[in-house]
Amino acid sequence: MNKILFFAHLRDEAGHESVEIEAAGKTVAELKQMVAEKYGIQKLDTSMTAINEEFSSNDEVIKAGDTIAFIPPVSGG
């Protein structure tokens, strides 16, 4: 299983701070699409992704037990 963490407005859109999901073997891009559909999140494709607190590209493949965080860039200032 994998733990998925949502930051900032993604959490409000998802309705959860974190969820458990089976994502091993999927790429980050695939996971984003799956999560976006399942939790009704609109702009997940532009979000940054951390696997185990390390920035990861859309091509990275997720392993069992990895914790994935979606951190959307924000622009306020």
Nearest to 4 by CA among 55, 47, 51: 51
Q: Which residue number, 22 or 58, has a Cβ lying nearer to other proteins? A: 58
Site string for other proteins, 24-63 (x = CB under 8 A): -------------------x--x-x-x--xxxxx------
Beta bridge partners of 68: 4, 51
Q: Which residue number, 38 or 55, has a Cβ lying nearer to other proteins? A: 55
- The DSSP code sequence of 28-57 is HHHHHHHHHHHHT-SSGGGSEEEETTEEE-
User: What residues line the site for other proteins (CB under 8 A)?
Assistant: 7-9, 11-12, 17, 43, 46, 48, 50, 53-57, 69, 71-77
